[in-house]
């Protein structure tokens, strides 16, 4: 089913498919060439992370096809309220369903994730579920992988105390972003409980070239440089910005292109 979309720069086509459990997920595509699957951050969307700031155009201009998934509960994808729609590892299974839907073979595509998308990509590759040619991890450090329960507690509080969080509260920025994106809070709460910590020992199995891209003011998920050191074949790219705004900078897209074309 196509429902059409267009962002800044390169034209974007949009369609949907059914994931492993029948949940309808939206996927947005731009450009022609080697497929690059892009996974966005929490409470965000393919548009907000990749299209709005022109990263899809940078990839298309470099000879790639940007394939941008909206996770369940995000963007144009469904947000079911049935707890059965949120088994453990549900986002990894959604990413794998997209790769299967597109009939992408191991080593035939690249995989990129920002924040939540980076966690999902690490879990998928570290558990041998996806085998990209190259892997790019953006806005992620060791703590965001190994200490997810602590990080998730912050976002659960944003949802649970949504109506009482005021300016000056450390959770206010996340509350404001969640509200601006129109995220279904019931579904988002269920999704947060479907994610688990990552066993850092599994990083040793991620042997393909990996780019770790992080803002110079981004410490939300711990040290990206430490994560780079733990990965067998990783290169660190520092770009301007914090966790909230590094994805809005052209340098992030430029770093992606530099890594994927190296």
| 215 touches 203 (CB < 8 A) | no
Which has the closest alpha carbon to 116: 188, 10, 176? Answer: 188
Question: Given a cut of 60, is residue 7 above it in pLDDT?
Answer: no
Q: What is the mean pLDDT of the chain?
A: 94
Rounded to two decimals, the pTM is 0.94
State the CB neighbour count (10 A cutoff) for residue 5. 19
Which tokens go with 122?
Answer: 């690490």
CATH class of the domain comprising 13-143+199-261: alpha beta
As a whole number, mean pLDDT of residues 42-54 equals: 96
pLDDT tens string 234-253: 999 999 999 999 999 999 99
74 φ, ψ (degrees, to nearest 5): -125, 155
pLDDT tens string 84-96: 999 999 999 999 9
pLDDT category at 2 given cuts 50, 70, 90 is very low
pLDDT at 8: 53
User: How far is residue 95's CA from residue 73's CA, in Å, rounded to a whole number?
Assistant: 14
Within 8 A by CB and 6+ apart from 31, the residues are: 10, 56, 59, 60, 61, 63, 64, 65, 66
**Cα 84 from chain centroid?**
22
User: How far is residue 84's CA from residue 45's CA, in Å, rounded to a whole number?
Assistant: 23
Domain residue ranges of the chain, discontinuous segments joined by +: 13-143+199-261
List the 34-39 sheet strands across, edge first. Answer: 13-18, 24-30, 64-69, 34-39, 110-114, 135-138, 210-215, 234-239
Question: Given a cut of 60, is residue 5 above it in pLDDT?
Answer: no
pLDDT category at 187 given cuts 50, 70, 90 is very high
């Amino acid at each position: 089913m196509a429902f059409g979309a267009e962002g800044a720069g390169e034209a974007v086509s949009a369609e949907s498919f059914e994931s492993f459990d029948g949940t309808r997920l939206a996927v947005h595509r731009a450009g022609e060439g080697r497929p690059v699957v892009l996974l966005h951050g929490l409470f965000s969307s393919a548009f907000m992370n990749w299209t709005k700031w022109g990263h899809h155009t940078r990839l298309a201009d470099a000879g790639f096809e940007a394939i941008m998934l909206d996770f369940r509960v995000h963007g144009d994808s469904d947000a079911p309220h049935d707890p059965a729609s949120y088994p453990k590892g549900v986002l990894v299974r959604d990413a794998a369903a997209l790769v299967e839907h597109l009939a992408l073979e191991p080593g035939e595509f690249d995989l990129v994730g920002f924040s939540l998308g980076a966690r999902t990509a690490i879990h998928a590759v570290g558990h041998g579920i996806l085998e990209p040619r190259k892997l790019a991890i953006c806005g992620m450090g060791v703590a965001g992988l190994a200490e997810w329960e602590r990080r998730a507690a912050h976002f659960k509080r944003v949802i649970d105390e949504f109506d009482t969080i005021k300016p000056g509260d450390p959770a206010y920025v996340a509350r404001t972003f969640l509200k601006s994106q129109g995220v279904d809070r019931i579904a988002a709460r269920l999704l947060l409980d479907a994610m688990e910590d990552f066993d850092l020992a599994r990083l040793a199995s991620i042997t393909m070239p990996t780019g770790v891209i992080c803002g110079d003011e981004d410490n939300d998920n711990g040290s990206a440089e430490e994560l780079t050191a733990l990965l067998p074949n990783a290169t660190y790219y520092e770009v301007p910005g914090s966790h909230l705004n590094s994805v809005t900078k052209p340098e992030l897209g430029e770093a992606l292109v530099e890594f994927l074309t190296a």
